[in-house]
């Protein structure tokens, strides 16, 4: 897995708080064609088996987030996204490394995800971390209709 050890100066990763929801929804809306709504994120706060993680600048501005389901020894990376202006600087690697660490801490041994087949940047990141293709969900995504690659990483 390739991720630099230390976060860039002024960047922090922490659990999502209710005050972060609007900023997360703004990033979600930029990143996904069928975005989750604010009430979805709000309903997941403090829900058993869900890890909500945000990446924030020193000013408190949310610049990325992740949602991970952890059930027994399996997990699913449901969402991971960065603010468009912060993409391409390696921050996704830091966020994904944190997700994997949190999942491992919860006893997850297998971490799954689905990703648009055309999302080469995300697929490259996941592959660098050790995710491998284990399936394909045909016509899984809407707007546009597209297949999802199902990927798996052995954690720990």
User: What is the mean pLDDT of the segment spanning 107-131?
Assistant: 95
**φ, ψ of residue 89 in degrees (nearest 5):** -110, 10
Under DSSP, is residue 108 helix (H, G, I), strand (E, B) or coil? coil
Whether residue 20 is contained in a domain is answered as yes
pLDDT at position 80, please?
A: 96
Number of Cα atoms under 13 Å in the Cβ half of residue 93: 17
Paired tokens of 76: 């699913």
Whether residue 2 is contained in a domain is answered as no
Whether residue 3 is contained in a domain is answered as no
pLDDT at position 152, please?
A: 98
Total structural domains in the chain?
A: 1
pLDDT at position 105, please?
A: 95
Range name among 61-65, 85-89, 109-113, 145-149 with the lowest pLDDT average = 85-89
pLDDT at 3 over 50: no
**φ, ψ of residue 34 in degrees (nearest 5):** -125, 75
Whether residue 34 is contained in a domain is answered as yes
Q: What's 137's domain CATH number?
A: 3.40.630.30
Percent of the chain with pLDDT over 70: 97
pLDDT at 86 over 90: no
pLDDT at position 148, please?
A: 94
pLDDT at position 2, please?
A: 44
pLDDT at position 8, please?
A: 83
For the stretch 27-53, pLDDT in tens is 999 998 889 999 999 999 999 999 999
Whether residue 81 is contained in a domain is answered as yes
Which domain does 135 fall in, by range? 11-154
Cβ(90)–Cβ(97) under 8 Å? no
Query: Which residues are part of the catalytic machinery?
Result: 114, 126
Strand partners, 62: 56
Under DSSP, is residue 34 helix (H, G, I), strand (E, B) or coil? coil
Rounded to the nearest integer, the mean pLDDT of the chain is 92
Q: How confident is the model at residue 5 (pLDDT cuts 50, 70, 90)?
A: low
pLDDT at position 1, please?
A: 45
Residue whose tokens read 């630099």: 4
Q: Please list, in sequence order, all residues whose beta carbon lies within 8 angstroms of the beta carbon of residue 73, skipping any fewer than 6 positions away.
A: 107, 108, 109, 110
């Amino acid at each position: 897995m390739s991720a630099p050890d230390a976060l860039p100066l002024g960047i922090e990763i922490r659990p999502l708080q209710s005050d972060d929801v609007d900023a997360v929804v703004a990033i979600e809306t930029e990143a996904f064609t069928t975005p989750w709504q604010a009430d979805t994120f709000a309903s997941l706060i403090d829900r058993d088996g869900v890890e909500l993680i945000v990446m924030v600048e020193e000013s408190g501005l949310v610049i990325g987030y992740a949602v991970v389901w952890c059930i027994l020894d399996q997990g699913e990376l449901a969402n991971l996204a960065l603010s468009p202006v912060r993409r391409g600087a390696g921050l996704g690697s830091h966020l994904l490394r944190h997700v994997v660490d949190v999942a491992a801490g919860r006893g997850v041994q297998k971490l799954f995800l689905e990703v648009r087949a055309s999302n080469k940047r995300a697929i490259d990141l996941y592959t660098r971390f050790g995710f491998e293709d284990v399936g394909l969900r045909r016509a899984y995504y809407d707007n546009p209709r597209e297949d999802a690659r199902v990927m798996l990483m052995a954690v720990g």
